Amino acid sequence: MRFNLFKTMLTFFLPVLLVFTLIPVSAFAADTDSKVEVRMKAGSRAVKINGKASTVEAPFVASGTTMVPLKVITNAFGAGLKLENGNVITLTYNDRKVVLTFGNKTVKVNGAAKTVAVAPVVVKGSTMVPLRVIVEAFGAKITADSVTKETVIIGVRAQSSGTGGTSIDADYGKTKIGDSYHKWTLNYPAGLVLVQQSDSGSFVKWADTADDSKVAAQVNVITEDVGEDALSSEEQRDTMYSYYDEDEITIDKRTITVNGLTFEKLVTFTKQTKMYYEYRGIQLDDTYYIVIVGAKGTDKSVLNSYGTLLNSFIPSYNQADKTIKDITKVKDGFITFKDADYGLTVKLPADWNSDPESTTPWFTNRTDAFTFSFSSLTAGDTLENWATRREARVREDYIGSNIRNFTTAPLSLKDGNALMLSYELSYGGDIWIIYNEIFLISGNYRYSLDYIYPSSNGVKSSAVLKQIVASVDIDTAFIEKNFGLIEDDFDLIDRSKKTTKRSSLYGYSIDIPSYWYGVQKNFNEDNVSYTFSAGEMGIYETGNSAAAIVPALSEFVRSPENVSQGMSIKESSTVTINGKTAYKVVLSVSKPKDDLPYSHIFYAFDTAEGSLVFSFAIYDIHATDSNLKLVNDVVQSIRFN
């Protein structure tokens, strides 16, 4: 079963259930040393873990049993924690398993039952558990400090991090899982933990392990926007087929009715992983819901135990049902995106997604984009100078008729005072794109936040821009600590700097700007390819003479397909470059399919075995005087031995 997570791409711009809702635990973090010492006192909210103090719900003594906050134990000892069916607590510590149940005085340690005087209970939102039975199961010792009157627990941390969180307080009494934004509910997937959840929560996966190669059981819920028209049975099944693995085989398919709801049902088998899956799909309005269970086994009967779970799925969410644990990532219509690698937090509307393949934070919906980057600060640089350079660069790269409405305005971000440069670009026709580049300087770095959207989205996107400005938070201290020198690869690039490339095989040299990017940069190969901000350069050999390029291109542009793209020859001549004659042809494409209008300039030089062609494609919107001069300088640098 393959999960094709939807990723929206722009056409106008080039660029778990937290495992049971964790309460922030940095205050409880134990020393990295394996030794553990916990000090606490009944009636006192103060606790010390390896000497580090924090505040918790006060321990108390009832029926001779000391009851303590469960999260103190899990944090101190590094024990794994899981809650099932809203009331069964499972603690794992090395090879030990301790199982407790709210309201039940029986505790199981590696399967052996023990009776305690007081059952686990929730006090003021904090789960309180009997201390001695747990820590003794962990091999720890409990003593009393006669001077401070503290209870002292001495032990060691688990050898590896346990599975789960450090608190199940918020999950007490929850027997169902649901998403209030996507509107679905399901019984708790007992024995599994949430291992994956997409940005918007449209895809959720629980499994017995986070290691995909070792998964033996899993449950998935997927929601897709399919439009308002009702899907036929075949269309519903096609939607589910799209999540198949390459070796997945359908062994049963039918329409079923469960609790008055009609589902399409598929049962499948994968050859390599020996997993059996049951898919159920149902449409409600414009949303298609898919719930999938998978289990490893010898035949499809391995799925039988999941029948109750599958039957519990409903495409709705009842806000009044307090037994539902809401795992939605959407709060008040927004998702909080956090990129820990770059210390960035920002709130965006629910229809946005992050791009996991981007090397820097990049977020998109169907029309807009928001990006984040930073580089080292150059001594003496200012926000004003930065904005001035950017405007000059835009004017250098785009013809005047395609840019308009430059403005700069001060902004206040959480991390300091910033400056925003705004302008509009047109890539053809009446479609204009608004660019908002926000510049921030803090410490040793300068930060760039770019928000781009079509002008037709003005009102809606302007509101999103305000949300970005209000919510964006950059952990500048994290950047300062974890990054070194980050050179700017665009704004501060010296475009006048050249590098000489030579081909000993073809006997020529050429000077190209150092900032051009080499796709194929071995000049002794048959093809050389570079890209740059205005277009691209190619060098290749042909077996025909240079003079033959003119009739060949003339015939090429006359084909019906190329005529429909507005292709024509604008210039055909011979020129002399550093004493060598070349045939020059300028080809224009005014209506290319799925591309912007451009011109293609060819220079063909005769060689002993045919000809060598230097070609330059330049987009019309980038055909500024500076870019044309840049390309012409490269052409004029061509020299043959």
Per-residue pLDDT of 202-229, as tens digits, reads: 999 998 887 888 899 999 999 999 998 9
Whether 453 and 387 map to the same domain: the answer is yes
What is the overall mean pLDDT for the chain? 89
| Domain termination site, one of 285, 302, 326 | 326
CA dihedral 570, 575, 581, 585 (to 10 degrees): -10
Query: Measuring CA to CA, how many Å separate 222 from each of 3, 225, 233, 285, 291?
Result: 9, 10, 18, 15, 6
Whether 210 and 312 map to the same domain: the answer is yes
Query: Measuring CA to CA, how many Å separate 566 from each of 398, 560, 589, 590?
Result: 22, 10, 5, 5
Residue 477 belongs to a domain: yes
Residue 342 belongs to a domain: yes
Whether 316 and 182 map to the same domain: the answer is yes
Which own/partner pairs from 311-314 qualify as long-range (CB within 8 Å, at least 24 positions apart)? 311/258, 311/259, 312/176, 312/185, 312/186, 312/187, 313/184, 313/185, 313/186, 313/221, 313/280, 313/289, 314/184, 314/185, 314/186, 314/259, 314/261
Whether 163 and 180 map to the same domain: the answer is no
In this prediction, residues 369-376 reach a mean pLDDT of 97
pLDDT single digits (tens) 511-542: 999 999 999 999 999 899 999 989 999 999 99
pLDDT band at 40 (very low <50, low <70, confident <90, very high): very high
Q: What is the domain count for the chain? A: 4
Percent of the chain with pLDDT over 70: 93
pLDDT at 15: 30
Q: Which residues contact 78 (CB under 8 A, 6 or more apart)?
A: 30, 93, 157, 158, 160, 161, 162
Whether 528 and 619 map to the same domain: the answer is yes
Residue 508: pLDDT over 80: yes
Task: Give yes or no for a contact between 449 and 371, defined as CB atoms under 8 angstroms apart.
Answer: yes
Q: Helix, strand, or coil here: 236?
A: helix
In this prediction, residues 96-123 reach a mean pLDDT of 91
Name the token pair of 55: 């505040």
Whether 548 and 601 map to the same domain: the answer is yes
Residue 14: pLDDT over 90: no
Domain that holds residue 585: 498-640
Helix (H) or strand (E) holding 92: strand 88-93
pLDDT band at 168 (very low <50, low <70, confident <90, very high): low
Highest mean pLDDT among 29-38, 210-219, 578-587: 578-587
pLDDT at 162: 53
- Give the CATH number for residue 255: 3.40.1000.10
Residue 403: pLDDT over 90: yes
Whether 304 and 343 map to the same domain: the answer is no
Whether 162 and 64 map to the same domain: the answer is yes
| Domain termination site, one of 143, 167, 191 | 167
In this prediction, residues 123-139 reach a mean pLDDT of 89
Whether 506 and 400 map to the same domain: the answer is no
Residue 438: pLDDT over 70: yes
Whether 155 and 197 map to the same domain: the answer is no
* Greater model confidence, 84 or 419: 419
* Greater model confidence, 190 or 384: 384
Percent of the chain with pLDDT over 90: 76
